[in-house]
């Protein structure tokens, strides 16, 4: 009985994590100059031109960057 309960709890946790991961939105923005009001080209869940300030106001948060490129590549998630 204990094993069945443990398996059920672990299964429920796995399903919850998968559902949470699928609900996230991610966008990648590129620019040669980075600043709060510098225009960036974004693709992914948000397509088009935006600034860091506009993305922040729309509920996006900075998740990281990709280094080793000739321009800034910033990743945002919602």
Segments making up each domain of the chain, as ranges: 25-78
pLDDT at 2: 67
Q: How many CA atoms lie within 13 A of 45 on its CB side?
A: 14
CB 50 within 8 A of CB 36: no
What confidence tens digit (pLDDT) does each residue in 21-33 have? 567 899 999 999 9
DSSP string, the chain: -HHHHHHHHHHHHHHHHHHHHHH--EEEEEESS--TT--EEEEESS-EEE-HHHHHHTT-EEEEEE-SSSSEEEEEE-
pLDDT < 50 positions in the chain: 10-12, 14, 17
Its pTM surpasses 0.85? no
């Amino acid at each position: 009985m204990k094993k069945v309960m443990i398996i059920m709890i672990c299964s429920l946790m796995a399903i919850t994590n998968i559902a949470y991961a699928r609900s996230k939105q991610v966008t990648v923005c590129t620019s040669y100059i980075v600043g709060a009001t510098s225009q960036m080209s974004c693709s992914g869940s948000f397509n088009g031109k935006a600034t860091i300030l506009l993305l922040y106001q729309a509920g996006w948060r900075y998740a990281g960057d990709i280094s080793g490129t000739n321009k800034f590549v910033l990743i945002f998630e919602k």
